[in-house]
Structure 1
Amino acid sequence: KGETRLSHCRFGKVTNQTALRCKHEQWEDIYSFPTNIADINVPVAGLYKSLGFGFLLDVSWQHNSHFACVNSLLSVVKRSPLIQNTRGGNCAGDVVLPDKPKLKFLNKVPNLKKAKKEAKKLWDIQGPAKSANTFTTGQYAIVALGGGYLHWGHIEMMRLTINRKMDARTTFAMWRINAPYKPITRKGLGQRMGGGKGAIDHYVTPVRYGRLIVEVGGKVELGEVEHILTEVAKKLPFPAKVMSKESLAALYKKQADMEQNNQNPWSFKKIAQGNMLGIRRVLSPFDLHNHGRFTGKFHFPQRV
């Protein structure tokens, strides 16, 4: 006999840790599950009753969405002896959790043979992110809405908070940033000016607008992890927001629609390309490329 544990589902409330037992020989004569009440045959009806889903055969429960949810649960009983479902969310269970679902530890100092000093290079936090700006395997993420530097303390704060509060049985989290690699030099207090560049004090990770910081996914709804990610996003040294795949796509679509449907003939792009009033003398290639949407690490979402 196999056991399947459920918590909540769309068809109604099921008591937590309820064991549903079924005989494996009942699966031999059943190859597919119906998606409509009219397609139920005798073996499927018997299986519903043996698993405790007989109430779905009642007229008051005859709704296709209820059967689709139950069929998704039944289809994975053979594959997994223990299924932790989500509250009122996706019952399909088609998300594959990695072997190590928690955020891994990132080194405070890069493993280099010889540490080299660098210039400030402020351009690495200016403008939009060119990498890690789309989702990979997760459904939700913390997205940077401005540029800045992440210290190792910020990274540890995110790792400890998310790993402690998330359910590793149903949720996974992954980094979309690199470990600190950019050296920051600093001189001690009370030193005279001069004497060359100071010694390396610590390392940071540059972040640009639109970059995903942490990606979260699994058999979980946004409402279950939003408060955790929001708590982390408020402590970052730049503006950040919790977004899903749909909300991030809607943000990009909104920006594209604003540019396409702009009725103001005097846009930044037209003025700059036409060199009106000789404005090209004070514009940098960065301004021409981004059409004035960015000023350093700051982003202006209403400018087209």
Structure 2
Amino acid sequence: MALMPKRVKHRKSQRGRIKGNATRGNTVAFGEWGLQSLDPGHIAANTIEACRIAATQYVRGEGKLYIRIFPQKSVTSRPLETRMGKGKGEPDHWVAVIKPGTVLFELSGVSKEAAKRCFARVAHKLPVNVRLVERRPSI
């Protein structure tokens, strides 16, 4: 089942623009290795689910996967072969808005090589460029 919010204030949202870098959610907080976005973009809920399945199949219970993004923006679409001028379409799917620097997924309990191979499988499914980042020691 794809991720979606339980309830929202407004069913239909405007597209908007993605400006600037991420100031929140841009460090590895839960795991030891993170997958950080380098580009802005939208990641659909079914893409997040496909990434989750690919990562959990690779780690097979020896590591823990943390998903740091959630799709909370609705994307609407009109039916095919519909003429213009009948208003905005119905919500079609949900996306997560990603700024450059956002940590998308985190892994703990695995080595660097295993994390690199796991995130390489995940990166093939994502519409943005990503890189592997390490947790910085806290003072």
Compute the TM-score of the two structures, normalised by the length of structure 1: 0.42
Q: How far apart are 1:240 and its partner, in Å?
A: 0.9
Counterpart of 1:155, as a letter, is: I
SS in structure 1 at match of 2:84: coil
Deviations 1:95-139 (A, max 9, x none): xxxxxxxxxxx75332127752111112xx321012110111311
- Give the SS at the match of 1:129: coil
2:74 is aligned with 1:173: no
1:118-165 deviation line (CA, Å, top 9, x unaligned): 11112xx32101211011131111110001111112111111111111
Q: Measured at CA, do residues 108 and 176 of structure 1 come closer, stay the same or move farther in structure 2, by a change above 3 Å?
A: closer
> Secondary structure at the residue paired with 1:158?
helix
- Aligned in 2, Cα 1:113/1:129: closer, same or farther, shift over 3 Å? closer
- Aligned match of 1:201: 92
Deviation track 1:246-288 (CA, whole Å, cap 9, x = no partner) reads 6xxxxxxxxxxxxxxxxxxxxxxxxxxxxxxxxxxxxxxxxxx
1:1-304 paired onto structure 2 within 5 Å? 107-112=2-7, 116-122=11-17, 125-169=18-62, 171-178=63-70, 180-218=71-109, 220-245=110-135
Unaligned runs of 5+ in 1: 1-105, 247-304
What residue identity is the alignment partner of 1:186?
Answer: S
Distance 2:132 2:52 in 1: 16
CA contact (8 A) 2:26 2:103 kept: yes
Paired with 1:142 and 1:173, the residues of 2 have a C-alpha distance of 11
User: What is the root-mean-square deviation in Å for CA atoms of aligned residues?
Assistant: 1.9
Distance 1:153 1:113, change over 3 A: closer
Higher strand share: 2
TM-score (norm 2): 0.88
Tell me: higher relative CO, structure 1 or 2? Use CA pairs within 8 A at least 6 residues apart.
Answer: 2
Q: What is aligned with 1:78?
A: none
Structure 2 CA distance for aligned equivalents of residues 195 and 112 of structure 1: 26
CA distance in 1, matches of 2:98, 2:69: 8
How many residue pairs are counted as aligned between the two chains?
Answer: 136
| Residue 243 of structure 1, CA deviation | 2.1
AA in 2 matched with 1:132: G
1:244 to partner: Cα distance: 1.8
CA gap 1:188/1:128 in 2 versus in 1, 3 angstroms: same
Q: Which is higher, the Rg of structure 1 or of structure 2?
A: 1
More helix by share: 1
Gaps of 5+ in 2: none
Counting aligned pairs with the same residue, the percent is: 28
SS of structure 2 residue aligned to 1:161: helix
| Cα shift at 1:207 | 0.6
Contact 2:51 2:125 (C-alpha < 8 Å) held by counterparts: no
